[in-house]
């Protein structure tokens, strides 16, 4: 796989996530889709196993580094960055895509939407669970589990609607990614 091109596409997806979050937000809680998960699904459908897992880890780390939560402390509001939840979640989502890609029709928009929704849900569950567990011992992180889960579910559904658009947009660029000749390469 061409890692330079992949990093550029990942960086653009992360920029779209951050830049369009307010414009695409729905509801009072600001539920927005994730372009990064769409890129992860696309790579997972075409790349080798190792490249897909590394892509998931790198995209997850990028999400962790750019999405610091705001919490209340004795000194007022402060940003709390938790490195790891999105990385582990994206790694799990990448493994999910690798597991089901052999039985999925890659050109079916419904299949892509379901994969995007489930991959995003896996990322959201790991992030929500990790932040909830951290809130038990770290007073700087204040999370309401049900609220966090409802937000992550909304993001997963919204991301599922966006994933076919991302995959179909990236499909003409497949030669630039340098994927192996067969998608079942180990």
Q: H-type helices in 20-144, by residue range?
A: 21-24, 35-46, 49-66, 85-100, 109-137
The model's pLDDT over 44-73, given as tens digits with 9 standing for 90+, comes to 999 999 999 999 999 999 999 998 665 555
Domains annotated for the chain, with CATH where assigned, are 3-69+79-177 (1.10.1760.20)
Whether the predicted pLDDT of 83 surpasses 90: no
- Compute the average pLDDT of residues 67-95: 76
Task: Assign 186 a pLDDT band (cuts: 50, 70, 90).
Answer: very low
> Taking a C-beta distance cutoff of 8 angstroms, is the pair 159, 38 a contact?
yes
* Pairwise CA distance, residues 40 & 124, whole Å: 14
* Pairwise CA distance, residues 159 & 32, whole Å: 8
Secondary structure (DSSP) of 167-184:
HHHHGGGHHHHT--SSTT
> Taking a C-beta distance cutoff of 8 angstroms, is the pair 161, 33 a contact?
yes
DSSP state of 140: T
């Amino acid at each position: 796989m061409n890692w330079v091109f992949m990093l550029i596409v990942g960086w653009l997806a992360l920029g779209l996530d951050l830049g369009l979050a307010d414009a695409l937000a729905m509801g009072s809680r600001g539920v927005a889709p994730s372009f990064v998960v769409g890129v992860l699904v696309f790579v997972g459908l075409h790349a080798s196993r190792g490249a897909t897992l590394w892509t998931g880890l790198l995209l997850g780390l990028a999400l962790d580094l750019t999405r610091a939560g705001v919490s209340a402390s004795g000194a007022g509001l402060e940003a709390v960055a938790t490195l790891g939840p999105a990385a582990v979640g994206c790694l799990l989502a990448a493994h999910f895509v690798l597991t089901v890609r052999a039985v999925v029709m890659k050109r079916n928009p419904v299949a892509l939407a379901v994969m995007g929704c489930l991959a995003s849900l896996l990322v959201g569950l790991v992030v929500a669970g990790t932040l909830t567990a951290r809130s038990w011992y770290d007073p700087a992180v204040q999370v309401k589990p049900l609220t966090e889960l409802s937000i992550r579910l909304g993001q997963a559904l919204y991301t599922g609607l966006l994933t076919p658009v991302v995959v179909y947009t990236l499909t003409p660029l497949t030669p630039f990614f340098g994927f192996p000749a067969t998608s079942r390469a180990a």
